Structure 1
Amino acid sequence: MADQLPTFEDMRSNAFALLGDAEDELRSDWREGTGPNREQGVALRQAREAIAQAKAALDAAARAGR
């Protein structure tokens, strides 16, 4: 059973990729007239910053394991 569980590096790598997907989605274009309002724009920037911080933390975890 332990052989079926992912390694930490597998999980870290998958999480990093998923964060990249979320980052790409948040950068996507949207239909005209449906863009974020001021408050949504602030929240969008905060989400992008949080994703960048999470990716940096995952990179640090990878370096710590070397």
Structure 2
Amino acid sequence: AKKKPIETVSLSDLNTESTDITTPRSIMLEVAMRPPRAAGMKIVDEGDAGQKLATFLVENRLA
């Protein structure tokens, strides 16, 4: 496939001031740690692991 040429432009080409670009448009108000993950469930294959997995996926609306 052919590569499309990339055009490089400068701030002066866009008719803007550098201060317009460096002024923040959002302000962070708060930072919080993520809550710890809940413990997972291990499925031991005793011949019915597929059924247990399918049931888990359906109950949690993942399938």
- Shorter-chain TM-score: what band? under 0.3
TM-score normalised according to structure 2 size: 0.25
Instruction: Report the TM-score, using the length of structure 1 for normalisation.
Output: 0.24
Kindly name which structure, 1 or 2, has the bigger radius of gyration based on alpha carbons: 2
Q: Which has the higher contact order (CA 8 A, sep 6+)?
A: 1
